[in-house]
Structure 1
């Protein structure tokens, strides 16, 4: 029964929520990206095992972790922040982008356009800016955590440390790339909202990218 004067809002308002279509798109994007990373590392024989199949399976597991703790965590940062503001927010894959991603991996590099979070609802410019900040901010935090853990595990002198440094580099690169003030990237939206926040975010992103490269090359 409706109560007079009460505005009814969508179920799950202000709470993380996933639809079946979104779960499908996230699953496909994660699988394609994981396979793509595995193809890039396929020639790195012997890193985990001298057996080729075992080595490939291990790289797939590591690639899966890379994808979850970089690309998807970035998108979930946008999604959960938007939902916190009461907006409809769901991830949708780019089939063509995923195909390009898979094809490029055969040539030893990754041109990743897995998809994006779409938002619908009344969102102010400030809220949109904060939603845009959330993605790169997640990457920066994950980069910092990965760097600390990499140092604990011996950096490039151990397998775990080396993997963590690659994860740190991936997150720092994603942060810098998404902070570019062009097109639909996060940087342009943040800059339109608040120049000081943009300056701090791009400076922090570049700093972590430089630090990660220094640690890797040390």
Structure 2
């Protein structure tokens, strides 16, 4: 597999990673006008390691899957939506649609379904990776684990919604049993994480 990144793609990935981390930092530090620098630095680091990693690996999973099926694939950031994410966070609401992996080349319905499924499944795997920190960690490592589990379960469930440009629409168009097998536990676990681990 020939995994390559153009200069623009690397810039877009980095910009989206930083912008999403800034947006979540604003959400986590409330009220933002009464912040203390050490708190902001810690929360920004927390966001980079959790939200940023969750987003980055989700998108890279789509890219890797597409390339494995012989397609040309690159991530493109949506700078308008990144601006909306930051502005929304300032009023206590975050809608994050940082961009997407666009791929070209012939593929079957099954292949497109698997490409779409790669992102949410990666988030489920990441949630499992963060889980030991959430259970056993304390202080900053524990916070990384808790937010890592919550945000990855949320991203898996949200992206599996069968609507619009979300991954779930492509997956359900390929296989309803696979859709149910991934979406139902993802949604249930996401609700559990929000109720028991929280976001803030």
My pick for the range that moved more, 131-140 or 103-112, is 103-112
Cα distance in 2 for residues equivalent to 1:151 and 1:175:
20
Query: Is residue 28 of structure 2 the alignment partner of residue 41 of structure 1?
Result: yes
The question of whether the paired residues in 2 share the 8 Å contact of 1:143 and 1:208 is answered with no
Normalization by structure 2: what TM-score? 0.91
Deviation at 1:90?
0.5
RMSD: 1.8
Query: Is residue 29 of structure 2 the alignment partner of residue 29 of structure 1?
Result: no
The aligned residue for residue 178 of structure 1 is 159
1:72 paired residue among 56, 64, 71 = 56
Deviation at 1:199?
0.8
Instruction: Report which of the two structures shows the higher radius of gyration computed on alpha carbons.
Output: 1
Cα distance in 1 for residues equivalent to 2:18 and 2:192:
30
Cα distance in 2 for residues equivalent to 1:165 and 1:94:
28
The question of whether the paired residues in 2 share the 8 Å contact of 1:147 and 1:212 is answered with no
The question of whether the paired residues in 2 share the 8 Å contact of 1:140 and 1:208 is answered with no
SS in structure 2 of the partner of residue 91 of structure 1 = strand
Structure 1: which 5+ runs fail to align? Answer: 1-13, 46-50
More helix by share: 2
Query: Is residue 121 of structure 2 the alignment partner of residue 137 of structure 1?
Result: yes
Count of residues paired in the alignment: 196
Normalization by structure 1: what TM-score? 0.84
1:140-171 per-position Cα deviation (integer Å, ceiling 9, x unaligned): 111122223211215xxx44223311221111
Cα distance in 2 for residues equivalent to 1:105 and 1:98:
11
The question of whether the paired residues in 2 share the 8 Å contact of 1:169 and 1:212 is answered with yes
Cα distance in 2 for residues equivalent to 1:213 and 1:207:
10
SS in structure 1 of the partner of residue 197 of structure 2 = helix
The aligned residue for residue 151 of structure 1 is 135
2:141 paired residue among 123, 144, 160 = 160
Map 1:68-147; keep pairs closer than 5 Å: 68-147=52-131
Cα distance in 2 for residues equivalent to 1:63 and 1:212:
17
SS in structure 2 of the partner of residue 65 of structure 1 = helix
Cα distance in 1 for residues equivalent to 2:21 and 2:65:
25
Deviation at 1:123?
1.3
1:64-86 per-position Cα deviation (integer Å, ceiling 9, x unaligned): 11233211111111011101111
Deviation at 1:195?
0.9
SS in structure 1 of the partner of residue 75 of structure 2 = strand
Deviation at 1:40?
1.5
